Amino acid sequence: IFEKHPEIKEIKEELYRQGAIYASMSGSGSSVYGIFSQEVHLQELFKEHFYWADFLQ
């Protein structure tokens, strides 16, 4: 999928650059997500994309 849609690969790599301990694409391919050990602010990086963020304690 990354060869056909390199922008998806770039989003996943950016999540790692921002400190994700894990990043992946969902099984259906409808989303890319990252898991972080601390709260991050990704609004500026992904302002052209829909995103959702939450912090679990």
Sequence-distant (6+) residues with CB within 8 A of 25 are 1, 8, 12, 31, 32, 33
How many domains in the chain? 1
The two tokens of residue 34 are 């990252």
In a domain, 27, yes or no: yes
In this structure, of 1-5, 8-12, 50-54, the range with the lowest mean pLDDT score is: 50-54
Residue 19 lies in a domain: yes
Task: Considering only CA atoms, give the Rg of the chain.
Answer: 11
- Predicted local confidence at residue 48, as pLDDT: 83
Residue range of the domain that includes 23: 6-35
The answer to the question of residue 21 being in a domain is yes
Residue 24 lies in a domain: yes
Residue 31 lies in a domain: yes
Q: Specify if 57 maps to a domain.
A: no
Report pLDDT digits (tens) over 12-51: 999 999 999 999 998 877 889 999 998 888 888 888 888 7
